């Protein structure tokens, strides 16, 4: 259907079109100098020593786990309130994801207290996720990791441009993993990036990204190498020049687009506090500077979420859910139940959360439409006796 207000939209224009055309005219499409330029630009933006472009953020997470030495018999503590790829990346290595609760309904990121309660002799790493672009409590998490000699990996898929204490999210742990999926703050359609300050980790990631090979096709094309060795069991997780070109163009727009998202989020908060104060909007009081990737809201307890979303749909407003809790998926639930670690805050947040439309080209009057529609829909769906 055609939405009056879609959930998300991309910001593509002449800059992206010209960047792609330039790559096509170059007649070199696989990973080459445009990718190298994109990696340099991104590393500078994050403040990292190394950046490596990959096919998507799931690949980035998988490689980060492998490079950190995660493998069979290990456990990695992860949030449940995340896209399932966070947990899947751990499982790909043969290790077990161990699900932690979130801090509170006001701040939906992984709880340091929950993390510490789940550490065992098998714990190898902590893989956190900056939900909606808002910072986890990184100082507390890094201190826990230091005391227990654990590696911290960051799923920064939501948080390109977010900072905490002046440091980019994705630059706190050993490796940061970013997403350029089509609904992200900057997009290449599919794509991802790894960042690290560790030279040895960077080299390991570089080798694993391309079949375990010691040189790339671009190296041989430019005459820098004639042959190669395969030194590890690697993967084909390479990006291409077209997506790298899109990424370079998108990165230039990111600061302005993030600022626009922040302005729209502030308007949402103001309007919802007036028109639908019973709707809880997390992340009101700041920790760092978020990039406002999505606009999560928690419906009042007892409201039928599907009925509510259908009410907005009937008004042409698209919504979503971020996320069904990963520990309740069939692939993980049995294993989670054996551990018996309750996740009460995650369960409540996941049952009540609705994601509202948010994108840079969204107009103020569209935010007003959504807020008014929320008020009307809640009134229509009010339970008997209220």
Which residues are part of the catalytic machinery? 184
Sorted by sequence, the CB contacts under 8 Å of residue 310 that are 6+ apart come out as none
Residue 92 CB neighbours (<10 A): 18
Judge whether 174 and 68 are in contact, CB under 8 Å. Answer: yes
Nearest to 31 by CA among 209, 180, 187: 209
Q: Can you tell me the distance from the alpha carbon of 241 to that of 142, in angstroms, rounded to the nearest whole number?
A: 36
Q: Can you tell me the distance from the alpha carbon of 168 to that of 258, in angstroms, rounded to the nearest whole number?
A: 14
Tell me the CA end-to-end span of the chain in Å, nearest whole number: 33
Give Cα separations from 155 to 23, 128, 194, 281 (angstroms). Answer: 30, 6, 10, 23
Nearest to 306 by CA among 376, 377, 367, 375: 377
Q: Can you tell me the distance from the alpha carbon of 69 to that of 104, in angstroms, rounded to the nearest whole number?
A: 31
**What phi-psi label fits residue 215: left (phi over 0), alpha (psi between -120 and 50 degrees) or beta?**
beta
């Amino acid at each position: 259907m055609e939405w009056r207000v879609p959930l998300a939209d991309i910001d593509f224009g002449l800059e992206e079109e010209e960047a792609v055309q330039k790559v096509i005219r170059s007649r070199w499409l696989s990973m080459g100098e445009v990718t190298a330029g994109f990696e340099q630009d991104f590393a500078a933006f994050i403040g990292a020593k190394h950046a490596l472009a990959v096919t998507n953020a799931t690949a980035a997470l998988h490689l980060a786990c492998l490079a950190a030495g995660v493998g069979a018999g290990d456990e990695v503590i992860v949030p449940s309130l995340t896209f399932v790829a966070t947990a899947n990346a751990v499982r790909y290595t043969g290790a077990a994801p161990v699900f932690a609760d979130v801090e509170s309904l006001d701040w939906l990121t992984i709880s340091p207290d929950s993390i510490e309660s789940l550490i065992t002799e098998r714990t190898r790493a902590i893989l956190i996720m900056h939900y909606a672009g808002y910072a986890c409590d990184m100082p507390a998490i890094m201190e826990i990791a230091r005391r227990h000699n654990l590696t911290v990996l960051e799923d920064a898929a939501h948080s390109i441009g977010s900072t905490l204490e002046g440091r980019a999210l994705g630059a706190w742990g050993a490796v940061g993993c970013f997403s350029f999926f089509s609904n992200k703050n900057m997009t290449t359609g599919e794509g991802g990036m790894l960042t690290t300050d560790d030279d040895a980790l960077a080299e390991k990631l570089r080798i694993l990204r391309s079949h375990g090979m010691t040189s790339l096709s671009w190296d041989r094309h430019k005459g820098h190498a004639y042959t190669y060795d395969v030194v590890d069991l690697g993967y084909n997780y390479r990006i291409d020049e077209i997506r790298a070109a899109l990424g370079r163009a998108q990165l230039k727009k990111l600061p302005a687009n993030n600022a626009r998202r922040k302005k729209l989020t502030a308007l949402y908060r103001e309007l919802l506090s007036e028109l639908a104060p019973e709707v809880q909007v997390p992340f009101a009081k700041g920790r760092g500077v978020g990039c406002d990737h999505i606009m999560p809201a928690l419906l009042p307890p007892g409201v039928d979420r599907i009925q509510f979303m259908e009410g907005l749909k009937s008004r042409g407003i698209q919504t979503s859910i971020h996320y069904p809790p990963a520990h309740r998926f069939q692939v993980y639930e049995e294993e989670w139940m054996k551990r018996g670690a309750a996740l009460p805050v995650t369960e409540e947040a996941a049952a009540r959360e609705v994601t509202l439309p948010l994108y840079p080209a969204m107009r103020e009057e569209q935010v007003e439409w959504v807020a008014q529609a929320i008020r009307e829909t809640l009134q229509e769906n009010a339970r008997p006796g209220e």
